[in-house]
Structure 1
């Protein structure tokens, strides 16, 4: 049987985006209909001639609203940035690599304003509703991308991840989300939040699709993804804070996932991690991400605060109190902790923990600032560990009834291909 053409798959994606009863208007802020049709037809013409540009040739892809596209304003989910009207003069390197690989870019996806929350709410362009329960948030900040994948508007989406922005929405929407080792993928042309923590990664329905997209946007050669053996795999289960206050959904399904891994022959160990306490000590001084986010937006906050989501503006403003001396000290402390965590993980293959402590909250809940703050912190708590310690990490859907939740696997910086192989094996076990 021949596989469906790029054009036929694009037509289905465009139909999903255009469905008046669906989430297309909230998930996709820009739709490149004509350009995508031309790209899909070109991919099919190459296929008929036996020519391929690589693993993503003809793949239907969306990109987060913070990536530069030549000739367009980069909004980053913000009406204020849209009104500023700064035109991108070139595609971001990630976008150029996608085009060169033959990917069919069908749209730009909605996001938390400035990528500064894990909830995924956006009062300016609408909050894309969670595919598992339309009364709930999708997670963020790559909210529209996760909904686009889960609802069939694309096959792969490219997002950013500063504290969990690919893995949180993946966990809440029941798909796969990947955060690479930061240095592998250029953040040039991606509207910044934190120069220290920003990274760029894919989300998709499968680990294999994430792996092939990851190789393309990293500028690496294609490779064959073979699942790693689970028997004998050393999995460290993070104890303490990552397991605190899990809700009923995550608290039930995470142990079930661990039980399945152990039955498959993996060697599970309970890992206490005092380094997490040291990380929290840095956060109590204000944190690196808020300080860097404030540096990006302080003039904008002073000039146009009323046009910014108040949940986001409040978080940015808090960082005004962080001194330059504290910021420098936090950077230095983090560098030492990154090295210490790398050494700590040397004797295990992956660290396992729930991607998020809670399943998706309701959209209505997020209208209350106090509830928003608490739920946002619970969504970001575990995923942000990977960014702080400069690890690579993946969220995989844990099977079971009810709302989606994710198993997060993390390992040392630079071990991305090994992590993909382990993730593929776990995905196969869960299927």
Structure 2
């Protein structure tokens, strides 16, 4: 089970006291990345060893001069390969962008904000090609294994696959990911860590290769709720980094949607989720099961490919002509679904989403949060997904619940709900747009309770 005792706050305290240094933290992460018995070669596409060591030394000098930009200066984090980093080529997990592409002239705003706070970029993490899957398999750069039953080999979740593994294995102490249909939350759930999807408008999307401009959001993966809240505040350029006041479990008003979200759950998912609900109820939470009929509309909205297919095709249509033969075939075919969508289809989709958001927000307004399993499935075996039909089935099961919240334009967090030795299971708390702080406080109040 991933280490949850080493947090951004504990590392900041160790740096402040002199118990460790930025140089030491970076060297420890680099050693884990280069360990031949580990997942570093599959979790990372590029490791900036020299740059990270140079930045660490600079932060150590600033700390001695009492001039660090934040208490977290000197802590190594990983960056998903979807983001621009000055002087590097942004591959987005693809071979199509590997050749003949100009290195980025500037950091993406979210990368620049992490650097400005003193976080050290240790490398670029692997991902599903162009972020188009919730499974995490990459035929070009390899597939990092989930922390679960690693000797067998289970998928890490996608699309921020390497991001989650980098944190779970201690190769970084936080990670920058993206979430269009669960790409922060799914890999967090499959690796026993925390992943957060913010309200989209809070974090700028510039400098990241888009999947869907309507649904994309940029968020953190880390070991605890407070770690994610700290990184989220930096990404959103909020002036004060939050110290969360955990909401008491007693009195929490939680709605469990019985429509769609509880369908076809793996036995381990259902068992762990129900155990978590029972624990919350015993601690005084008010847990109510409600129908959310609006969730039935999401399948229809995605029937022709939805926003992801139409908007990704608009971005890829010229690149596919010249480089389509090097795309992952499973990604290629999903993007091409957008070719068949008309402008009228897209306008209808915009209208349907607007109505969906209005009606769903009204239905969930009496509650502090929705609570549901992050995924319907536990991490499938990599070997079992060689068949395209099996892949498609498991991919949809991984994405289904998370996608509901992206379509809502909401915010959500995935918390580990399993006990030590059990298969990883994520519990998702979600709310309407702008409820980010509330979701963090609720999550902080229950993260150490739900595994009891």
Q: TM-score, normalised by structure 1?
A: 0.97
Matched position secondary structure for 2:449: helix
1:167 pairs with 2:185: yes
CA deviation profile, 1:85-114 (whole Å, cap 9, x unmatched): 133111100011111110011011000000
**Separation in structure 1 between the aligned mates of residue 214 and residue 155 of structure 2, nearest angstrom:** 27
Structure 1 residue 268: deviation in Å? 0.3
- Find the counterpart in structure 2 of residue 189 from structure 1: 207
**Separation in structure 1 between the aligned mates of residue 124 and residue 59 of structure 2, nearest angstrom:** 20
Structure 1 residue 35: deviation in Å? 1.2
Contact 1:16–1:24, Cα closer than 8 Å, also in 2: yes
CA deviation profile, 1:289-331 (whole Å, cap 9, x unmatched): 1111111112222332220111111111222211111011101
**Separation in structure 2 between the aligned mates of residue 127 and residue 258 of structure 1, nearest angstrom:** 33
Out of 217, 227, 244, which is 1:209 matched to? 227
1:33 pairs with 2:49: yes
Give unpaired runs (5+ residues) of structure 1.
none
Out of 169, 191, 194, which is 1:151 matched to? 169
1:377 pairs with 2:396: yes
Structure 1 residue 150: deviation in Å? 0.5
Matched position secondary structure for 1:165: coil
Deviates more, 1:364-373 or 1:162-171: 364-373
- Find the counterpart in structure 2 of residue 352 from structure 1: 371
Matched position secondary structure for 1:268: strand
Contact 1:398–1:405, Cα closer than 8 Å, also in 2: yes
- Find the counterpart in structure 1 of residue 124 from structure 2: 108
Map 1:13-412 → 2, pairs under 5 A: 13-134=29-150, 135-221=153-239, 222-400=241-419, 401-412=421-432
Aligned residues: 431
**Separation in structure 1 between the aligned mates of residue 349 and residue 113 of structure 2, nearest angstrom:** 34
Matched position secondary structure for 2:176: strand
**Separation in structure 2 between the aligned mates of residue 427 and residue 45 of structure 1, nearest angstrom:** 36
**Separation in structure 1 between the aligned mates of residue 132 and residue 307 of structure 2, nearest angstrom:** 13
CA deviation profile, 1:177-224 (whole Å, cap 9, x unmatched): 000000000010000010100000000111111110000011002122
- Find the counterpart in structure 2 of residue 8 from structure 1: 24
Contact 2:81–2:92, Cα closer than 8 Å, also in 1: yes
Contact 1:56–1:213, Cα closer than 8 Å, also in 2: no
Give unpaired runs (5+ residues) of structure 2.
1-13
**Separation in structure 2 between the aligned mates of residue 14 and residue 220 of structure 1, nearest angstrom:** 30
CA deviation profile, 1:401-425 (whole Å, cap 9, x unmatched): 3210100000121111111111111
Structure 1 residue 55: deviation in Å? 4.4
Contact 2:249–2:285, Cα closer than 8 Å, also in 1: yes
**Separation in structure 2 between the aligned mates of residue 55 and residue 273 of structure 1, nearest angstrom:** 43
Q: CA RMSD in A?
A: 1.3
CA deviation profile, 1:246-266 (whole Å, cap 9, x unmatched): 012101101011111111110
**Separation in structure 2 between the aligned mates of residue 18 and residue 381 of structure 1, nearest angstrom:** 35
Matched position secondary structure for 1:243: coil
Structure 1 residue 337: deviation in Å? 1.4
**Separation in structure 1 between the aligned mates of residue 349 and residue 100 of structure 2, nearest angstrom:** 32
**Separation in structure 2 between the aligned mates of residue 149 and residue 353 of structure 1, nearest angstrom:** 24
**Separation in structure 1 between the aligned mates of residue 259 and residue 408 of structure 2, nearest angstrom:** 17
Structure 1 residue 42: deviation in Å? 2.2
Structure 1 residue 83: deviation in Å? 1.7
CA deviation profile, 1:35-88 (whole Å, cap 9, x unmatched): 111222222223333333124312210000010012221100000111241331
**Separation in structure 2 between the aligned mates of residue 101 and residue 339 of structure 1, nearest angstrom:** 37
